[in-house]
Amino acid sequence: MDLIEQTPYRFLIPQQGAMRVPGIVYASRALLPALSGDRSLEQVVNVATLPGIVEASYAMPDMHWGYGFPIGGVAATDPAIGGVVSPGGVGFDISCGVRLLAAEVDADELKPVLGQVTDRLAAATPRGAGRGGIWRLTGAGQMRRVLTGGARYAVEQGHGVERDLLRCEDEGAVADADPSQVSTRAIDRGLHQVGSLGSGNHFLEVQAVEEIYDDVAAQRFGLRPRQVCVMIHCGSRGLGHQICGDHVRAMEKAMRRYGISVPDRQLACAPVRSPEGQGYLGAMAAAANYGRANRQVLASTVRHIFSQTPGGSLDLVYDISHNLAKIETHLVEGKTVSLCVHRKGATRALPPGHPDLPADLREVGQPVLIPGSMGTCSYVLVGIPGGGAFASTCHGAGRVMSRHQALREVSGPELQRRLQARGIEVRGASSRGLAEETPEAYKDVTEVVAAAEGAGLCRKVARLVPLGVVKG
């Protein structure tokens, strides 16, 4: 595969064969995936063959192999020229995202009770693959209200405050949700999981603001040095997973009817304007709303625990998803075009002045929340003017080691002792789950952020370090 270094943080895969556009990889040389063990560059090429794709098939610095699309992949298609939507461009954990809350209390003030607070957070947060959630819905009727109302409905039911919605992407709910496109099986899987972390790389983490890089943006976001924050990373649980699987199967059957062939069956797709495309987008939006409600309920529980700690009130900094496809307006070859933008393991990073930003953030740009691996730092970034890849950037550290490899490297108790020795309180749902998420299994998030910033996709605002970790 030809890979041409255009700048220290931008590599070109020239258009060739069935590719309709080139591939663009934002990364440093050190962050490029190993060709022998990671097929994500091949996936960048495969995505470039999708009908209606425009500009380029993009990959972020945290890219790694995923289902159909690479994780860290961004692609936009034009519905006016037969552009498609692909569930593989969103993934199985629809609307997986990050929520950051900022406390009044400083790290030094929290330290004497940190262990107790972490214990209480762990006890109050349902974790694990099959676990139910805090908010047990009463039936399909209430589920429909979650699927259409998202975080807004959760707030109406007492799980949060109105200001939360102003600091949440889409003000807490995607408008085009269509619960009729969600299967009974997906509904059943989601009924009792609202307000739960799940497993894998999902977490709830107590953090401290260690460094500020942009005083103006940090002040507008509500961040200051040594301040305690809480970061929540989770998605749409079994409901989102079921929706993805259901619609992949429907599109596999429909592709022949539309004359579409793809190099990888995991790229199953349908035209955006087709019944199958509209059905998936409606179901995906419903799952996105479920994900927002999920994080809203978890945040409400965290608030309750912190309210019993002096100075422990929490304000929402922002809530953003990194697994979505959205209909957005962008400039392509000098023309304003409506596009279906897939971001899988990539975060929207709107620039200052964008009309979709809340009024109090419009001057500085959109907060971008980048969690690191367990025991390492996380970052708050901000969108900038002229950011590339349809105003997108990275979403985290990016995995480099399989879970089986991680288990061979370290045991859960050993990792917990190592982190506790650094003053980090750790509460895992299982010893195996902890070991699978060892920091060595991930890229260096600081290098990832440096590459994203160096590529002109975003700008650093703050660095946060972990104090207490509750793992799914």
Q: Is 395 a catalytic residue?
A: yes
Do the beta carbons of residue 151 and residue 211 sit within 8 Å? no
- Report the residue count for the chain: 472
Of 241, 322, 395, 404, the catalytic one is 395
Give just the sign of the alpha carbon dihedral 211, 216, 221, 224: positive
Do the beta carbons of residue 193 and residue 202 sit within 8 Å? no
> Is 2 exposed, middle or buried, given 0-12, 13-18 or 19+ CB atoms closer than 10 A?
exposed
Max CA distance (Å), the chain:
64
Do the beta carbons of residue 407 and residue 382 sit within 8 Å? no
Residue type, 152: R
Block residue for tokens 């970052």:
379
Do the beta carbons of residue 59 and residue 74 sit within 8 Å? yes
Phi and psi at residue 133, in whole multiples of 5°?
-105, 180
Block residue for tokens 């999708």:
50
End-to-end CA distance of the chain: 38
Contacts of 253 (CB under 8 A, 6+ apart): none
Give catalytic residues, as residue numbers. Answer: 395
